[in-house]
């Protein structure tokens, strides 16, 4: 429980929860009051706040970029609605960067598909006979078991 | 008139197999075996276990085909079996004590599929790319790996993948996009 005026030491402890908005209304007001009256703590607050904001912005930027990529990836798979498709196609006409990203996704898909196809094109496994044989044996065993159980 | 089973499409074959037609069932297995094998190969199953696992999965398909209600959901049903079987072996592997092979016969364990690309130079490049792709896919976390394999190798729709992996379409979309981002990063030196 904090009593009386807050000291600079209290502020350094409370500054992060204050930025995160995790303090009660009473505490928040007292921290704000201290910051208004103490240039040293205010400077500290400004530096930390700008650092936090830049990290937050970076995260938001990254999330936005991923959302865009996710949409492009689904577009390349033809898994978007007609409306989204039209919207993406009109954006593609305006942005070289977007076109390049789409091309990269498509060339990855092409490389994967070609490799998969080439890798297994000549593979002969011949498992069908073995599986059917096993299924028949399994059925016989089942019938014998049933016969003895009855 | 004797009909040729090879001309039937998969849906028809499944319906026939469900009625007890062994020839149809055999044809389904013939068509699907490569698919199952390739999926396991990229899922990073142990090379010497892939063949056994493939057979086990195909046997499960053959045994339970009558339980499949709608032939159109065959693909996601099959993939569900593959995923379950794959996770099952992983679980079993974690439980068993690691065995060390005393025969120093690594050649036998080595697993290679013949490659018939036309010219030797191209063959080397293709082989290198294939290895890079395989290793990159193996590096992905399991849910991403499964999603991208189902999409690119099996050609399944997002909805089918969602059904087979028991999650929603949004998650499938994200997983595929994440897998692609990672693969692009890993394969950067190989992509022009």
Q: Which of B59, B173, B183 sits opposite A131 (nearest CB)?
A: B59
Which of B38, B51, B183 is opposite residue A108, by nearest beta carbon? B183
Return per-residue pLDDT of chain B as tens, 192 residues: 445 777 778 888 888 888 888 888 888 888 888 889 988 988 877 778 888 889 999 999 888 888 888 888 888 889 889 988 888 887 877 766 656 656 655 555 555 555 555 567 766 777 888 889 999 999 999 999 999 999 998 888 999 899 888 899 999 999 999 999 999 999 988 876
CB contact under 8 A, A135 and B187: no
For testing contact with chain A, the best of B152, B156, B169 (most A CBs within 10 A): B152
Asked if B183 contacts A105 with a C-beta cutoff of 8 angstroms, the reply is no
Chain B residues close to A101, C-beta within 8 Å: none
Would you kindly state where each structural domain of chain B is located, as residue ranges?
A: 1-99, 117-192
Q: Residue B61, class by beta-carbon neighbours within 10 Å (0-12 exposed, 13-18 middle, 19+ buried)?
A: buried
The two domains B1-99 and B117-192 share their CATH topology (first three levels equal): no
Q: How far is B130 from chain A (nearest CA, A)?
A: 6
Find the CB nearest A111 among B37, B115, B133. B133
Other CB atoms within 10 A of residue B50 CB? 18
ipTM: 0.74
* CB-based contact A48:A19 (threshold 8 Å): yes
Answer whether A115 sits within 8 Å of B133, measured CB to CB. Answer: yes
pLDDT value of residue A1: 46
Q: Does A79 touch chain B (CB under 8 A)?
A: yes
CATH architecture designation of domain B1-99: Orthogonal Bundle (1.10)
A92 part of contact set with chain B, CB < 8 Å? no
pLDDT classification of A80: cutoffs 50, 70, 90 = very high
**Cβ-Cβ contacts under 8 Å, B168 against chain A:** none
Is B106 strand, coil or helix? helix
Nearest Cα of chain A lies from the Cα of B175 at a distance, in angstroms, of 9
Q: Does domain B117-192 have CATH number 3.40.640.10?
A: no
Q: Which among B29, B37, B187 is the nearest to A128, CB-wise?
A: B29
Residue among B144, B166, B180 nearest A70 (CA) = B180
Query: In Å, how far is A90's CA from the nearest CA of chain B?
Result: 21
How does A12-26 read in b/e, with b if 16+ C-beta sit within 10 Å? Answer: eebbeebbeeebeee
Q: Give the nearest chain A residue to B22 (CA atoms).
A: A132
Res A81: pLDDT: 93
Q: Are A31 and A23 in contact (CB under 8 A)?
A: yes
Q: Tell me whether A142 touches chain B (CB under 8 Å).
A: no
How far apart CA B124 and CA B129 sit, in angstroms, is 9
């Amino acid at each position: 429980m904090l009593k009386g005026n807050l000291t600079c030491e209290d502020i350094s402890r409370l500054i992060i929860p204050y930025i995160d908005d995790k303090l009660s209304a009473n505490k928040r007001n007292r921290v704000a009051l201290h910051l208004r009256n103490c240039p040293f703590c205010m400077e500290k607050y400004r530096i930390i706040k700008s650092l936090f904001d830049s990290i937050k912005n970076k995260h938001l930027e990254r999330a936005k970029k991923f959302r865009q990529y996710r949409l492009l990836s689904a577009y390349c798979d033809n898994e978007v609605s007609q409306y989204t498709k039209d919207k993406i196609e009109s954006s593609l006409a305006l942005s070289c960067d977007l076109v390049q990203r789409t091309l990269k996704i498509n060339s990855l898909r092409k490389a994967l598909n070609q490799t998969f196809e080439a890798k297994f094109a000549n593979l002969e496994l011949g498992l069908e006979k073995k599986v059917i044989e096993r299924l028949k044996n399994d059925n016989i065993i089942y019938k014998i078991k049933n016969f003895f159980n009855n | 008139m004797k009909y040729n089973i090879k001309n039937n499409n998969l849906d028809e074959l499944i319906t026939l197999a469900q009625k007890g037609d062994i020839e149809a069932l055999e044809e389904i297995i013939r068509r699907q075996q490569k698919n199952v094998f390739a999926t396991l190969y990229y899922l990073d199953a142990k090379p010497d276990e892939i063949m056994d696992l493939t057979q086990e999965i195909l046997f499960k398909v053959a045994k339970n085909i009558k339980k499949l209600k709608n032939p159109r959901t065959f693909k996601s049903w099959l993939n569900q079996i593959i995923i379950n079987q794959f996770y099952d072996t992983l679980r079993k592997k974690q439980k068993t004590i690691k065995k060390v092979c005393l025969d120093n016969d690594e050649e036998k364990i080595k697993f290679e599929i013949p490659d018939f690309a036309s010219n030797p130079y191209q063959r080397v490049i293709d082989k290198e790319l294939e290895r890079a792709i395989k290793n990159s896919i193996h590096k992905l976390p399991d849910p991403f790996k499964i999603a991208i394999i189902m999409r690119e190798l099996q050609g399944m729709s997002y909805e089918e993948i969602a059904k087979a992996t028991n999650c929603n379409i949004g998650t499938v979309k994200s997983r595929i996009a994440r897998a692609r981002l990672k693969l692009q990063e890993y394969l950067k030196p190989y992509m022009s």
